[in-house]
Chains A and B, each alone.
Chain A
Amino acid sequence: MDIERRNNVTVTGNPRGRAVVLAHGFGCDQNMWRLTVPALAEDYRVVLFDYVGAGRSDLSAFSESRYASLDGYARDVVEVCEALDLRDAVFVGHSVSAMIGVLAAGTAPERIGALVMVAPSPRYIDDASYRGGFSAEDIDELLESLESNYLGWSAAMAPVIMGNADRPELGEELTNSFCATDPDMARVFARTTFLSDSRDDLKAVTVPTLILECTQDVIAPREVGAFVHQMIAGSELVTLDATGHCPHLSAPEATNGAITDFLARLR
């Protein structure tokens, strides 16, 4: 199988630099990193990809059973690393991808030598002694929100996502298409993301790890950032002066600065 095509892999930056893999979270695709890539391109080999089911990945490769657990997404990461024969790469994962990176580093330690976790959360749903910020009903509500915004997907979006090279004007019409995903696949990713519990996996992390959190993030509140920091021995926690869940878009300078500072110190 052609993994690079399946995961819509893009390689840019300095071919002689250390590989930095940028992994998008639930919602959109590799375009999320477009303000980050320029900050890394000079010194690093930058690898971008879309998880199967997102962006311009090969939707025919989607399997509900594989992607019903984060391990399935972690296999995407490992397979991309293998396809490019990356060694000792730095994995930068946003949101749920931060945890996917933890799993991938566990199964392929020779491939991933350091982690940057942007707004990570190992568990979104509260339980007795842990506050993730959400109840199970909240997650059901999100699934409903997804549904109501995907009504017209199959008719309007599918041809564009499939890559309709002979009708480029279609892409122009669909202003929201960056984050357009097949509703069934989005539902699977949403369930897998928001119902996952990766708290126990954090202890196993042994590679140098940078955790980036925002001062105000509904999805990954600060107490969750502190939890991740506490569970990963030797990790660094940087609180960015940013609101929302996507500091790489809302506060790109601060985010890029924290990442490049961490990368420079890895050498």
Chain B
Amino acid sequence: MCRNGPDPDCGKKSSAPFAALLEDSVEELYENAPCGYLSTLMDGTIAKINATLLDWIGLEADAVVGRMHFTDLLTVGGKLYHETHFAPLLQMRGEISGIALEIKQAGGGRIPVLVSSVVKHGGNGEPLLIRTTVFDARDRRAYEQELLRARRAAEQAHKQAEADRARLQDALAVLQQSLLPATLPSVPGMEAAAHYRTASPDRLGGDFYDLFAIAGDRFAFFLGDVCGKGPQAAAVTSLIRYTLRAAALHDPDPVAALKTLNHVLHERYTGDDPRYCTTIFGTLEPHPTTGEATVRIASGGHPPALVLRADYLPTPGGLLVGVLPTAPFTAATTTLGPGDALVLYTDGLTEARTGEDRTSLYGDEALLEFASSHAGKSAPSVIRALTDLLDDLGDGLDDDTALLALGVPASPPPTRRNA
């Protein structure tokens, strides 16, 4: 240490070892610095350049000083970048640092470099010249290229994943549509409407419904809920739909149709992969003369149908379909008069979470209240009202929801359909 020391030779003595290493030569420090160093006039003409940089570019000072511009050292891409980014920034800010460029070598090679420049100003603030340092960035650039490659690969993979996802969703949507009727048939003297929504767009729903003509003027319908979701549930739904359709043609008795379905499901899904469903199956027999319609239904463990004039149409005691080899199903019969509608639904509706904190369930009471306030409305308007209700429930809907309404218009209707 040599602080405030009385010895006048103190400084000399301590710098002597450094002088011996020639580190007192500013010229030497400049010329052989471990970086390129150059000064240019404000128009870019090179006024001074150190030996390190000359060595990198492979030229003599005579060929460069006063003869070349800084941009002459750069590749064409680098020149463009210099003119569009580097020079304007330097002019606006008086300095710029760490810009990645490439310099050309006399032999045709290129060296990736990092360039920093600062404008030297005169006493009156006028810009005099530009000082620029150039650092060899070969290793760093190789590393950055790796990073860039990795980023591009990641971006590409991300795009591919997005595309795959979109394609999968399209396929799922098509599959989902195949599980539901595209439109409802028109039933003479009646109106029918349905609504279906999945809780999540990328998951196949497990709810199903259908309405179709059977022998004579009669129609059959069903609505239900398969346990589980996804492709497996969809496969079960497909089996259910075609089984019930065939069964209804063979024997239109609702209980018989459910027994057939029970047999098929139980036989098909045994062992460690049991699959079952809840469903209401029914037939519809319109009487054009009276304007009424006879409804016969059977339920296998499904929430009771609503009759929009009064009440539920109770079907207690029916068992889940597909669990036991033989299962009891509960039948019920009613007659729909003008202004009456039968509404089938799945528990996605009754078990929707409501309230501020989404902790209570919509529930049977609320559904009954809905029924009484909508008594006398047409089937399409009931479905519209329920659809609005589902919209209001929003993220309270955890599960898929299927809705099917069959009604006798209060006054003789134009035949309407609404899928």
Whether A and B are associated in the same complex: the answer reads yes
A residues sitting closer than 8 Å to B (CB atoms) are 25-28, 31-32, 34, 95, 134-135, 138-149, 151, 175-176, 178-179, 194, 216-219, 242-246, 249-250
- CB-based contact B92/A145 at 8 Å: no
- CB-based contact B77/A140 at 8 Å: yes
Q: A134-B80, A145-B77 are in contact. List 4 more A-B contacts (CB 8 A).
A: A148-B141, A148-B144, A151-B148, A176-B98
B residues sitting closer than 8 Å to A (CB atoms) are 42-44, 69, 71, 75-81, 83-85, 87-89, 91-93, 95-102, 112, 141, 144, 147-148
Report which of B80, B96, B97, B99 forms a contact with A138, defined as CB distance below 8 A: B80
Report which of A26, A144, A246 forms a contact with B87, defined as CB distance below 8 A: A246
Q: For the complex, what is the distance from the CA of A138 to the CA of B74, rounded to whole Å?
A: 12
18 CB-based A-B contacts, threshold 8 Å: A27-B84, A28-B88, A138-B76, A138-B77, A141-B78, A142-B76, A144-B77, A145-B81, A147-B148, A175-B93, A175-B96, A216-B69, A218-B79, A218-B83, A243-B69, A246-B83, A246-B88, A249-B91
List residues of chain B with CB within 8 A of the CB of A141: 75-78, 80
Nearest chain A CB to B232's CB is how many angstroms away?
A: 40
- CB-based contact B92/A243 at 8 Å: no
Report which of B44, B78, B88, B89 forms a contact with A145, defined as CB distance below 8 A: B78
4 smallest beta-carbon distances between A and B, as pairs:
A141-B77, A27-B84, A138-B76, A245-B83
Determine which residue in B44, B95, B96, B100 has the highest number of CB atoms from chain A within 10 A of its CB, and name it: B100
Chain A-chain B contacts (Cβ-Cβ < 8 Å), number: 107
Nearest chain B CB to A123's CB is how many angstroms away?
A: 15
Q: A141-B75, A246-B87 are in contact. Are A146 and B147 (CB under 8 A)?
A: no
- CB-based contact A145/B101 at 8 Å: yes
- CB-based contact A179/B89 at 8 Å: yes
- CB-based contact B96/A176 at 8 Å: yes
List residues of chain A with CB within 8 A of the CB of B76: 134-135, 138, 141-142
- CB-based contact A244/B87 at 8 Å: yes
- CB-based contact B100/A148 at 8 Å: yes
List residues of chain A with CB within 8 A of the CB of B81: 142, 145-146, 149
List residues of chain B with CB within 8 A of the CB of A179: 84-85, 88-89
